[in-house]
Structure 1
Amino acid sequence: MPIYRLTKTSYLAVILCFSFVFTLLGAGARPVRAEDPYDGMRLKLLHLILGDDPYSLPVSDPVLRSKLAKMDSAVSSCAAASAPCSSGKGVWDILNRGADRNYLWVDLPFTSTDSYTKSGDITNSYNRLLSMITVYYTRGSSFYGNMALKNDVLSALDWLYTQEYNTTAAPYGNWYHWQIGVPQALTKIGILMRDDLTAAQLTNYMSGVNRFIPDSAARTVSGSPLMTGANLLDQAISVACRGILVKDAAKITNARDALGSVFAYVSPAAAPNTLPATAFTRTAPSTNEQMGEKYPANPKQAIQGMLKYWLSKDTSNQILDSSSTCQYFQLKQIVNSAVPSRGEKTGTSIYANQDRAVHLRPGFGFGLSLSSNRVDKYESGNKNNVQGWYTGDGLTYLYNADSGQYDDFWPTVNRYRLPGTTVDTQKRTNSSNTVQVSLLNKRRAAPRSSDLSGQLFILGACRFF
């Protein structure tokens, strides 16, 4: 799998994504009484979606105010009192509300001759409805409690269930949309709207999800791969959310076990808010000794100290601006906490199982992307990364104070002359020679490396033909 540019903002997204996984069933909740453990877990998920830590109205925090304004403008570019309006450009403004409609949005018509594009129309439609209903429940939004908005969302959800995503729909195009894209959006919508859905609506929507991902490792659509890593996590989270909504302990247990298989080497100290002390609890098996001597004694503080340092260096405010509302409150708490900032990190890390290496010295970082019998040269699927031919042949990345040096890198770089690689210029076709495990495993040996006190390192790979 190729490495792409990871900025501090995208690293943050990864870290906070793990935070979502770990707090999925154990984070703080909204101050609303839970009727049973399932309701309690749903309230905790509401907190993660809305980020509704107490804040005074009207909103005075300029960053939070800007976030709410962006959310609102995406829904309608018109004044709230006149929304939706025919001249507007928000997703509510351009929603097709006709009784005899064949689509919800004209740019997502479900008529493309390309099945991948057509299946993407389903996910994108649900994501737009998610953005609409999120502002309905967000305090401080101009559309908070707007009944017309909620009713349009409900009508559109029923249309999508009847026409596109249900227990009898024949899947087409990209498996991802049926098993990950739609379930993620639809279960979040369910978490938000459960109290505003009829029993029949909740059953219908969640039956559609269950049809395509009856369990975390399901492969119900042609072309879906063996579920591991991020794909398994994505499906497990949706299975868990559905289990919470329909109060199905078996589904939650299945999701818990899938998450545990991915995070087998995460210690309880790193994830203090894993499953609560209920029937769904699982004890994390690993210890600091299993993780190795470089694993921090206090991983939570280490992660928070790292984030605090990044935030202190983010003079353009990219991290806070791009974070979700919930993430924003979490980051503000870290900034205002007594946790010491980590400072600049130096050292060398060899990730042998991923065929990657990172070398950090004062003022710069250097990354190296290799391949072996564990990791193929590059991955190209679903019409993505079709020219990543040489990203596993020694591609190097240099990071320094120039935070914009990789802006528009991939659209402009010569794919035959990537930094650090030595390749010929034979004409390549899109997605050629991506994954041929039976052949590649015989030809490529694993990288060999030496770490010299964290200041210098030697890394190379042998090839056998």
Structure 2
Amino acid sequence: MDISRRTLMSALPTAATLVAGIGPPAASAAGRRRDGSVGPDGQDRLLANADALFAGDTASNARAEVAAKLTAIDTAARRRLAALDGAGPGELFRGTPLGTSEANLNASFQYLWEIALATRVADGGPASDLRGNAAVRRRVLDGLSWLHEHHYGDQERGYYGNWFTWEIGISSHVSRTLALLRDEVAAHRPELTGLYIASMDAYLRNGKDGDADLDSRFHTGANLADITTNRMLQGAVTGDAERVAKAVADQETVYATIDPYRLRHGVTDGFYADGSFIQHASVAYTGSYGTALLGRVTQTLKLLDGTGLAAGDVLAGVLHAWVTRGFAPLIFEGWMMEVVRGRAVSRTAGGYAAVTAVAESVADLSAYVPRERAAALRGYVKHLAETSRVPPDPGGFVSPVSVARYAGILADPAVPAADLNPPARSIAFNAMDKTVHRRPGFAFALARSSDRISKYEYMNGENLMPWFQGDGAHYLYLSGEDQSEAFGADYFTAVSPYRLAGVTAPAEERGTVPELYGNLWYDNPERGFTASSESQNAYVYFPRGTNTFSGGATLGAFGAAGLVQGDDAAYAALRAGLLPDDFVAYRNARATKSWFLLDDEVVVLSAGVGDDAGRAVTTTVDTRIADPGAAVSVTGRLRDGARWTGAGTAPLAWLRYADASRGTSVGYVFLAGPPPTVERETVARSRRVVRLSNPDTVVTKQVFALSVTGAAGAPAASMAWALVPGASERRLAAYARGPLSVVANDTGLQAVRHAGLGLLAANAFTAGPHRAAWLRLDGPASVLARRTRAGAVEIAVSDPTMRRERVSVTLRGRARAAVAADEGVDVVRVPGGTRIEVTTRRAHGRSFTATLR
């Protein structure tokens, strides 16, 4: 569901209606007093919804499946109370010293919230003397007063460290605490609400006049959703209808699909028409900030239910589109793919944990959408639970009501488990330079980058060695595996950052940001480099590439993607003399790459592989990790039919990597190029090599790396291979007879043909006509064409540069007529064939299709 700002504004109540009073629509008698004026029912409803959201209700808490969640709330509160009792000088909680650490201050507010929550848990669950405990609630209020007096209220002393803590983190804990303990605050510390709201407004220093600012680069996407949700609660507690109305209106800008050609407030953060999600202006972030946004907006749906403050069906429709188009393609057997997790890939809480928030939101959303959609969402919830090696943990849900709803879905025999993805699917997330290809048994995720999208994200000592994660790094997920043992933080810990699967990297040693500068960032205020400055973002935290070609096309369940590897923005700026002399940036190797995504294979072509600086360059075909004791084997055959022994330099036909412990395998068919090198070693490293705050736990893994290395100063090379998940030796041997063939492989054109599928796929990287078998391409372009058994030709075209007005493709041979064609596609008969003219202007990399007979 692509939803524009105009659509949202027409569906939501007007600002005047909202300010007139927080209440349900006029048609509802519950929202009006006898004299006809709008009563406080809407405000009360919002606060009652907040109570249920965080503390559950009698119905939810009575379910046996919710008891563990309620016990966890109670246990956490008792642990915080013990720390409160044992606090020393300068502390509110033992072990959490205050005065210089914003993280400790945020934690202190969080601990007060956890205590407050335990006192407000609704009846129905396990008995607890904390529930309704007035004395404990007073202790929370005392703690709030003390923190405000000594560490929060003084604006001159405050706002050190991370801006997020002051504008979002602390405000989230305080706003929820004030909402849940509103009666106690009003009765015993009425001044607290005003003090804190004034301070929270003052700490919105990236805002405007003590409020969110839609023009601020800090107040976008998930961050804006957090800020506005906090302000909704604040307004409801104080009866400030204008604050609530403004917060709702501000948050609804997050729901609109981003149109990159008509940006509002210059914001590129949010969901795009192709399902992409971007945060931090250029980071693909569905699996971290995106999950936070999904959760927050689902909470908004629940908070505003029945208040008349939002069109619930419209908002539910937005969320449904996010789930089906943006999240489901990126989740494989309960694991969130690495390509959209930013710096979170270095955290020990991996892809399974990231899906927990999605499961909660989908379960909740199923209660707010029409019946058919609700059935599909409930089936997906059960699918996540049944296919994941580590099912979503409802103990990590925010709401006890969500836990109850989730448990009800799993227990319902009338709900069949069903994926929201079809069995075969290829998705070009071109707006965020990512590609996902799914088949029964595997999923392939590819990370690209460009002058539009960041190569990687490093920040706050997380993801310390990210340099090549956007240079064609791929992740091949095999069905039935525990993905936390194959990928996640342990993959980045054990595998050299220069040998990530799919990467072409020069032979050099790079330094991490802390190693280079002795700090978590490059500190040079005189040249504009501070912790959260735009320069820091552009050149240290998440630099974009300098290349323009990154994208691809999809034709049904098939896909093509291409990338011209380039330097990052920091290196280009340093060469141009725009950065200080002590700033460190690294030059990249050169490569032009294509990935052709078929039924059984992912075919990879590389050309122009080399280095302008004369360094040796390694292209990694694949890298896989396994436990030290896993029964891993590597077998293969040479092109002359002899068995591969691991020695010699004779051309290889294929190799097969198999992990008998997991029951998985991957085949590699070598179509052209130098012979690869097979490396197997046992690696032991601390998880802190990828994230400073990780536990100092040593990870030991078997590492299998298959790569091709060009010597220093060697001429540019080309190579081609196919990844064949789950292949047997017999099947791999059959590739000697087809059906794959390389049509072209140079820096101007890369193309392959699959005879069995009748498919021809090509990427043209340069201008001018290019001939690929029976196609002539006017590059740059990405094209797939398939001859069906019925004699028709299906074709898909995209502009991976996102800069062209039109793309032309000519089918040589007898003239053909269009049976069906997307808007913007013209089919013209020309001498010797049929020309397809595609208007790609402002299509943002979208594929255009046509069927010809």
Which bracket does the TM-score occupy, shorter chain normalised?
0.7 to 0.9
Q: How does 1:417-436 map to 2 (within 5 A)?
A: 417-431=499-513, 435-436=538-539
- One-letter code aligned to 1:359: H
> Does structure 2 retain, via aligned residues, the 8 Å contact 1:216–1:239?
no
* Alignment partner of 2:92 out of 91, 104, 109: 104
Q: Once the 2 structures are TM-superposed, how far is the Cα of residue 128 of structure 1 from its aligned partner?
A: 1.0
Q: Provide the residue aligned with 1:3 in structure 2.
A: none
Q: Provide the residue aligned with 1:158 in structure 2.
A: 145
Q: Provide the residue aligned with 2:432 in structure 1.
A: 354
> Does structure 1 retain, via aligned residues, the 8 Å contact 2:472–2:503?
yes
SS of the residue 1:106 aligns to = coil
**Matches of 2:233 and 2:463, distance apart in 1:** 31
2:47 paired with 1:47: no
Q: Once the 2 structures are TM-superposed, how far is the Cα of residue 285 of structure 1 from its aligned partner?
A: 9.8
2:165 paired with 1:185: no
> Does structure 1 retain, via aligned residues, the 8 Å contact 2:46–2:307?
no
Residues 314/386 of structure 1: CA separation in 2 closer, same or farther (3 Å cut)? closer
> Does structure 2 retain, via aligned residues, the 8 Å contact 1:47–1:53?
no
Q: Deviations over 1:283-324 (max 9, x none)?
A: 959999xx79x8699554433331121123347554334334
Q: Provide the residue aligned with 1:31 in structure 2.
A: none
2:466 paired with 1:385: no
Q: Deviations over 1:328-349 (max 9, x none)?
A: 1121233355555324733111
- One-letter code aligned to 2:380: M
Q: More displaced, 201-210 or 34-43? A: 34-43
Q: Indicate the percent of aligned positions where both proteins have the same amino acid.
A: 23
**Matches of 1:429 and 1:367, distance apart in 2:** 27
**Matches of 1:286 and 1:200, distance apart in 2:** 37
- One-letter code aligned to 1:459: A
Contiguous gaps of at least 5 residues in structure 1: 1-21, 28-33, 77-89, 113-117
Residues 133/276 of structure 1: CA separation in 2 closer, same or farther (3 Å cut)? closer
Residues 167/277 of structure 1: CA separation in 2 closer, same or farther (3 Å cut)? farther
2:183 paired with 1:195: yes
- One-letter code aligned to 2:212: S
2:194 paired with 1:211: no
* Alignment partner of 1:342 out of 418, 421, 434: 418
Q: Provide the residue aligned with 1:14 in structure 2.
A: none
Q: Provide the residue aligned with 1:459 in structure 2.
A: 561
- One-letter code aligned to 2:178: G
> Does structure 2 retain, via aligned residues, the 8 Å contact 1:379–1:434?
no
**Matches of 1:218 and 1:331, distance apart in 2:** 35
SS of the residue 2:475 aligns to = strand
Q: Once the 2 structures are TM-superposed, how far is the Cα of residue 452 of structure 1 from its aligned partner?
A: 3.7
> Does structure 2 retain, via aligned residues, the 8 Å contact 1:166–1:207?
no
2:324 paired with 1:248: no
2:108 paired with 1:125: yes
- One-letter code aligned to 2:81: W
2:480 paired with 1:401: yes
Residues 64/385 of structure 1: CA separation in 2 closer, same or farther (3 Å cut)? same
Q: Deviations over 1:244-302 (max 9, x none)?
A: 222222222222222221111499xx9986956767446959999xx79x869955443
Q: Once the 2 structures are TM-superposed, how far is the Cα of residue 148 of structure 1 from its aligned partner?
A: 3.5
- One-letter code aligned to 2:562: G
Q: Provide the residue aligned with 1:12 in structure 2.
A: none
> Does structure 1 retain, via aligned residues, the 8 Å contact 2:378–2:409?
yes
- One-letter code aligned to 2:84: L
- One-letter code aligned to 2:83: I
Q: Once the 2 structures are TM-superposed, how far is the Cα of residue 216 of structure 1 from its aligned partner?
A: 2.8
SS of the residue 1:168 aligns to = coil
Q: How does 1:262-281 map to 2 (within 5 A)?
A: 262-265=254-257, 275=304, 280-281=309-310
Q: Provide the residue aligned with 2:665 in structure 1.
A: none
- One-letter code aligned to 2:95: D
SS of the residue 1:54 aligns to = helix
- One-letter code aligned to 1:302: A
**Matches of 2:387 and 2:553, distance apart in 1:** 31
After TM superposition, the score normalised by the length of structure 2 is 0.43
Give the number of equivalent residue pairs: 403
- One-letter code aligned to 2:511: T
**Matches of 2:306 and 2:420, distance apart in 1:** 38
Q: How does 1:65-76 map to 2 (within 5 A)?
A: 65-76=67-78
- One-letter code aligned to 2:418: R
Flag the structure with more relative contact order, 1 or 2, with Cα contacts below 8 A and sequence separation at least 6. 1
Could you say which structure has the higher helix fraction? Answer: 1
Q: Once the 2 structures are TM-superposed, how far is the Cα of residue 425 of structure 1 from its aligned partner?
A: 4.2
Q: Provide the residue aligned with 1:95 in structure 2.
A: 84
SS of the residue 2:435 aligns to = strand
**Matches of 1:156 and 1:184, distance apart in 2:** 16
Q: How does 1:213-362 map to 2 (within 5 A)?
A: 213=204, 214-217=210-213, 225-265=217-257, 275=304, 280-281=309-310, 284=314, 299-314=373-388, 317-324=391-398, 325-336=400-411, 338-343=414-419, 345=421, 346=423, 347-362=425-440
**Matches of 1:155 and 1:457, distance apart in 2:** 60
> Does structure 1 retain, via aligned residues, the 8 Å contact 2:468–2:503?
yes
> Does structure 1 retain, via aligned residues, the 8 Å contact 2:301–2:315?
no
Q: Once the 2 structures are TM-superposed, how far is the Cα of residue 127 of structure 1 from its aligned partner?
A: 0.8
Q: Once the 2 structures are TM-superposed, how far is the Cα of residue 192 of structure 1 from its aligned partner?
A: 0.9
* Alignment partner of 1:448 out of 546, 551, 567: 551
> Does structure 2 retain, via aligned residues, the 8 Å contact 1:447–1:462?
yes
> Does structure 2 retain, via aligned residues, the 8 Å contact 1:217–1:235?
no
**Matches of 1:285 and 1:151, distance apart in 2:** 38
Residues 441/328 of structure 1: CA separation in 2 closer, same or farther (3 Å cut)? closer
Q: Deviations over 1:35-91 (max 9, x none)?
A: 53212111111111112251576x7x2x43322333332233xxxxxxxxxxxxx22
> Does structure 2 retain, via aligned residues, the 8 Å contact 1:130–1:188?
yes
Q: Once the 2 structures are TM-superposed, how far is the Cα of residue 463 of structure 1 from its aligned partner?
A: 4.1
2:120 paired with 1:137: yes
- One-letter code aligned to 1:381: M
- One-letter code aligned to 2:159: P
After TM superposition, the score normalised by the length of structure 1 is 0.75
Contiguous gaps of at least 5 residues in structure 2: 1-11, 13-21, 25-38, 205-209, 258-270, 274-297, 326-368, 517-535, 568-853
- One-letter code aligned to 1:69: T
> Does structure 1 retain, via aligned residues, the 8 Å contact 2:235–2:244?
yes
> Does structure 2 retain, via aligned residues, the 8 Å contact 1:180–1:234?
yes
Q: More displaced, 369-378 or 418-427? A: 418-427
Q: Once the 2 structures are TM-superposed, how far is the Cα of residue 226 of structure 1 from its aligned partner?
A: 3.2
SS of the residue 2:180 aligns to = helix
Q: Once the 2 structures are TM-superposed, how far is the Cα of residue 186 of structure 1 from its aligned partner?
A: 0.9
**Matches of 1:132 and 1:434, distance apart in 2:** 37
Q: Once the 2 structures are TM-superposed, how far is the Cα of residue 124 of structure 1 from its aligned partner?
A: 0.7
Structure showing greater radius of gyration is: 2
Residues 374/428 of structure 1: CA separation in 2 closer, same or farther (3 Å cut)? same
**Matches of 1:320 and 1:286, distance apart in 2:** 22
Residues 317/458 of structure 1: CA separation in 2 closer, same or farther (3 Å cut)? closer
**Matches of 1:141 and 1:393, distance apart in 2:** 55
SS of the residue 1:350 aligns to = strand
Q: Once the 2 structures are TM-superposed, how far is the Cα of residue 163 of structure 1 from its aligned partner?
A: 1.4
Q: More displaced, 342-351 or 256-265? A: 342-351
> Does structure 2 retain, via aligned residues, the 8 Å contact 1:356–1:368?
yes
> Does structure 2 retain, via aligned residues, the 8 Å contact 1:26–1:276?
no
> Does structure 2 retain, via aligned residues, the 8 Å contact 1:355–1:370?
yes
**Matches of 2:386 and 2:49, distance apart in 1:** 29
Q: Once the 2 structures are TM-superposed, how far is the Cα of residue 176 of structure 1 from its aligned partner?
A: 0.7
Q: Once the 2 structures are TM-superposed, how far is the Cα of residue 144 of structure 1 from its aligned partner?
A: 1.4
- One-letter code aligned to 2:184: D
**Matches of 1:92 and 1:287, distance apart in 2:** 42
Q: Once the 2 structures are TM-superposed, how far is the Cα of residue 453 of structure 1 from its aligned partner?
A: 2.5
Residues 321/278 of structure 1: CA separation in 2 closer, same or farther (3 Å cut)? closer
Residues 385/241 of structure 1: CA separation in 2 closer, same or farther (3 Å cut)? farther
SS of the residue 2:113 aligns to = helix
> Does structure 2 retain, via aligned residues, the 8 Å contact 1:389–1:434?
no
- One-letter code aligned to 1:444: N
